[in-house]
Amino acid sequence: MTYEVKHHINGEEVASAGTERQNILNPATGETIGTLHLGGDAELQAAVAAAKTASASWGELSLARRTAVLFKFRELLVANTDELAELVVREHGKVLSDAKGEIARGQEIVEYACGITNHISGAYTPQAATGIDAFSLRQPLGVVAGITPFNFPVMIQLWMAPIAIAAGNAFILKPSERDPGAANFMAKLWEEAGLPAGVFNVLHGGKEMVDGLLNHKDVDGISFVGSTPIAKHVHATATANGKRVQALGGAKNHALIMPDANMDVVTDHLTAAAFGAAGQRCMAISVAVAVGDAADIVVERVAAKAREVKVANGMEAGADMGPLITEASRDRVKRIITEAETDGAAIVVDGRDLVVADHENGFFVGPTLIDHVKREMSAYAEEIFGPVLVVVRVDSLEEGIEVINSNPFGNGTCIFTDSGYAARKFTRDIKVGMVGVNVPLPVPLANHSFGGWNDSLFGEHHIYGEDGLRFYTRNKAVTQRFPERKDASGASFNFESRNNG
């Protein structure tokens, strides 16, 4: 049986006014499992109007009442993890344990938002001048929109919405058209938690819908996660319209492996970080920069482990890796592997011809390891977003740092070493926003903020954590005096300061 995914506007499921629809596919089978309503201007206007109305009253509620909704939402998220994770597996293809892990990481941001009372307090300066007190406070932007990618249909919306909502904003989510069901599922959890209608809305659509949000006069802020070309477009368009923007782009994450590293730890973590979720993670390790003698060991051991990865339907017990999200994604990954082979790289483990039994129409590519990759090859230059690990050989720590710093992306990186000197030099010299030391996926905890440098981030705010709270609020400074009537005069034509106050 198939299902329909409609818009969620002002507390109701809303069909598109137009007739445009898109099939929702199960990537493991290639079968149609649902139909998505694609919206246009009518749905956009309705959602923004509902959010604008709701934001006025929601932003005036006490923090205690707002956080009560957040705590209830967190309980519902935990209670519905299994059902939500299975929905993610059907539409995205990732394995069930990974889908549950995604939900758990998103839950951490919800818990951070539950503590909004501690995070949002301003500063107070009594008697800044005689009889004058000064203080600052943070207030919500109003209506904010989140545009999210397919690879984490739950977690990335939770990077945005809980903090935005806790801070007093109304939120409009525009999820990926490839796996849209989780967005509507979450909308129902928000309502069950007691969130008023209009505070959380879901719009489905393509570029037209994105551009509508970027240009709408009543949308005050835009959060985006996706590819770098679209992140640039989002940032340029929204800022030109006077909106606050955080736009996270693509990645080409490197792991630098020193010869003194524990190779069992290195190769276990490289295998998982390269091939988990079929490489469709913005924090996947897609490049192993191997220093000196480390290269041969890394290639030999990762090759052996790659051949042991169980590729299957994500619902199958013991599956390590599922399919790619679409047929086009599969074909693109195969094309890049072939180009690397043509350009002279060594295909050590080749996943191009993988066929999963009883899933012949699924969008599978097996784990692939490519050695002797040069920086001019497409396998290095492009963000593959597939289960492909390329190996770049270098002679020294300094050369490895130069390779990483010369890449236009600056999202995440890591070093594997037992040397405190090498680790310290790497963390200080590397021009990347998130760094791990013997940690392959350095995704910051909820109280820190997620975001890269260079072509991986456009805008000054990282996502979630303290930066997220700053993004979704405006700072206001207040200077006040309540003089007795007999002291009410005394205004001066001079510019006042604390020294003459």
Catalytic residue set: 282
Looking at the DSSP bridge assignments, the partners of residue 221 are 144, 244
Listed residue (69, 74, 114) closest to 469, CA to CA: 114
Contact 7, 202 (CB under 8 A): yes
Rg over CA atoms, the chain: 25
Contact 323, 278 (CB under 8 A): yes
Give the pairing of strands 457-458 and 244-248.
Answer: antiparallel
Q: How many CB atoms lie within 10 A of CB 245?
A: 23
Contact 437, 131 (CB under 8 A): no
Contact 247, 235 (CB under 8 A): yes
> Which region holds residue 39: left if phi is over 0, alpha if psi is between -120 and 50, else beta?
beta
What are the C-alpha distances in Å from 493 to residues 128, 130, 407, 480, 489?
20, 18, 57, 19, 13
Nearest-angstrom CA–CA distance, 328 and 349: 22
What are the C-alpha distances in Å from 77 to residues 106, 147, 190?
10, 21, 9
Q: Is the dihedral of CA 44, 49, 55, 57 positive or negative?
A: negative
Two structure tokens written together for 462: 């990282």
Contact 413, 435 (CB under 8 A): yes
* Degrees, nearest 5: CA angle 140-141-145: 115
Nearest-angstrom CA–CA distance, 222 and 240: 12
